[in-house]
Amino acid sequence: MFRLETRATPSTLMAWCSPLLAVLLTMVVAGTLFWSLGKDPLAGLNVFFLEPLRDLNGWAEVGVKLIPLLLISVGLAICFRANIFNIGAEGQLVMGALAAGAFVLQVDNGENGGFFLISIALACGMLGGMAWAAIVAFLKDRFNANEILVSLMLVYVAQHLLSYLVHGALRDPDGFGFPQSSLFSDGFLLPAVLPGTRLHTGIVLALIASVAAWLFLTRSMAGFRLRVGGMAPLAARYAGFSSRKALWSSLLISGALAGLAGAAEVMGPVGQLTPSISPGYGFAAIIVAFVGRLHPLGLIFSSFVMSLLYIGGELAQSRLGLPNAITGIFQGILLFSLLACDVLITKRLVWRK
């Protein structure tokens, strides 16, 4: 038998190996799940983790899913580093998509577009996400409202607002009554990175955001103050660091990146406003942030893994006849596996004689 023994100091090695162990444990549990459903475990794992990577189009589709996950998780990592728990990135994504989409619908005449107007549309998306996050920051700053509850409840407000507008003011008049906006013209769609695929320039923006966040957190005084405020609030207050600045800056950055993710979705693979823009990227990005150890560069790896789960889940439906819920199940398994493996950072397994 084994027992858990507290380590003298937390293990740095296990802190970085824990996400890898969690991914491996997820694969083991997934194989067991496939077997219990009467499916070949190896075939199931092949569909989830290898099938999407066998051709260029598969890699491109993984990249399409990676863009919003990486953008949102980078913003969440900054928030979590500041000890601010923004759970409402899904709502900020929706508001970013709505702001960018509304701008495009106002100026799109079928012939204009291009770099300048696309940039303005993306900026509108960022402002939409920032405005939604600013509500959380204001209520936290002014009334000490719990940011977890406020940000989470605002997700549903944003989703219903989007649904209301695409059923009403923004609905395509030539769309036969379907709740969706007009299709954006090609001049307002993000250019493809790989011809013949759906992978667009949002991947460049996501990678730039990741590197910029790493530089901000590790090479700037503002990032240092933010990290100290999250790790040791009393020490930060004693040093004269402003907790209000950390609150506002972290939430606004997180909201801006989530809004940018929403704008990239409607100006990329979706190409219009619909009632359901995101399959839950804002919530999945929370798992991505912790699997990536809140490190902007580590988030690239964890976003890639989560993207595989999304694409693998879609393939599993068609190839193995599994339900749509399989993706969410795997996301939950990954999160619980990570939490279980994280115990080994402060504990070690010791053989009980």
Q: Measured between alpha carbons, how far is 98 from 220 in angstroms, rounded to an integer?
A: 33
Q: For residue 133, which of 100, 84, 166, 83 has the smallest C-alpha distance?
A: 84
CA distance 145 to 11: 35
CA distance to 207, 232, 315, per residue, from 204 (Å): 5, 34, 26
Q: How confident is the model at residue 1 (pLDDT cuts 50, 70, 90)?
A: low
Percent residues over pLDDT 70 in the chain: 99
Handedness of CA 130, 258, 266, 90 (dihedral sign): negative
pTM across the whole model: 0.94
Comparing 236 with 79, the larger pLDDT belongs to 79
The pLDDT of residue 65 is 97
Structure tokens given for 198: 């759906």
Instruction: Tell me if the domain spanning 66-321 has CATH number 1.10.3470.
Output: yes
DSSP 35-102: HHTTS-HHHHHIIIIIGGGSSHHHHHHHHHHHHHHHHHHHHHHHHHHTT-----HHHHHHHHHHHHHH
Strand partners, 62: none
What is the DSSP annotation of 309-334? HHHHHHHHHHHT---TTHHHHHHHHH
353 has a pLDDT exceeding 70 = no
- Mean pLDDT, rounded, of the chain: 92
Mean pLDDT in residue range 11-32: 90
- Assess whether pLDDT exceeds 80 at residue 20: yes
Q: Which residues contact 118 (CB under 8 A, 6 or more apart)?
A: 187, 188, 190, 267
Average pLDDT over residues 274-295: 95
Model confidence band, residue 101 (pLDDT cutoffs 50, 70, 90): very high
Burial (CB count within 10 angstroms: exposed 0-12, middle 13-18, buried 19+), residue 221: exposed
Residue 351 DSSP code: E
Confidence at 343, pLDDT banded by 50, 70, 90: confident
| 18 vs 342: CA distance, rounded Å | 6
Residue 11 has pLDDT above 90, yes or no: no
Reduce the DSSP state of residue 200 to 3 states and report it: strand
Cα distance between residue 273 and residue 172, in whole Å = 10
What's the number of CA atoms in the CB half-sphere (13 Å) around residue 48? 24
Q: Taking the alpha carbons of 332, 24, 87, 239 in that order, is the dihedral positive or negative?
A: positive
Q: What is the mean pLDDT of residues 271-300?
A: 95
> Which pLDDT score, from 0 to 100, does residue 217 have?
94
| Cβ–Cβ < 8 Å for 93, 286 | no
**Residue ranges of domains in the chain:** 1-39+325-353, 66-321
pLDDT digits (tens, 9 = 90+) for 181-220: 999 999 999 999 998 899 999 999 999 999 999 999 999 9
